[in-house]
Structure 1
Amino acid sequence: MNSHSMLLCLLLAVTPAAAADTQDEAATLAIVTAGHWQSGQQQGIYRVRLENVGFEHVSCRVWIEWLSAAAPAKPFATVAKLPLAEASDGFWSCPNRSGTVALHDASLQLHLVHAYSHEPRVFNVVLGAPGHYQLQDGNVP
């Protein structure tokens, strides 16, 4: 085997490992757990997770989770999990940890900044049954 073929084999062997390390490096900025949901016999609480994603162009990803406990003393399990698509499209960034997210009952408010124009935007979201939410302000980019 010549040195060129050996180098190609080494590169092919290393490439999948390198790609796996850089797929999705997200840094958690905030986790807020509050509120209450009920759907039929199921009930639980909401959790909102904000993550910074990217390295050259850092944007915010917002996850909404619906949690439920099987019994009062049991730990919570995730019933549903969705990204807030309107705020997680790569055009919005989280300006800071404090004051960025507020969750009361089934009402979520996010203070984000457009990644390019730096224009602030408030996302008002009403959370519902597992897997359901509604953007309230109609100001969708």
Structure 2
Amino acid sequence: DDFDVFGDDDEEEEEPKETRAEMLQRMKIAAEERLAIKEKKQRTLVTLEVKPWSTETDLKALWTKITTEIAQPTLKWGQNCHLADVAYGIKKICMSFTMGMQDSSDEIIEKIEAFEDEVQSVETTGMSVL
């Protein structure tokens, strides 16, 4: 018996080798799974300006109404809002929210505009992917 220092077996082990097409398919599936997980974690930050009809509108109450009545599974409202002057004593609500990548900010804006007695217009001032 010869002692093999490197531990090589002269006998060929019969392992089923993966074909190139099978390997590419396996790698493609793994990449798609990683992409799906990454997209699920991605969020969009949207900043809005909500303008009221009159100076008598209680903007803090309107902001509370918007953030409590409009809800979706991936929607998260900002912790607070900022009131900014527009003109002639009218102020606007500057607010933000985050949503999933698959969601549409248009749906949320339409829901805010549905408060017709209090909201004159809603303008998107910024949108960025987090």
Same fold (TM over 0.5): no
Q: Which structure dedicates a bigger proportion of its chain to strand? A: 1
Q: Which structure dedicates a bigger proportion of its chain to helix? A: 2
- Higher gyration radius (CA): 2
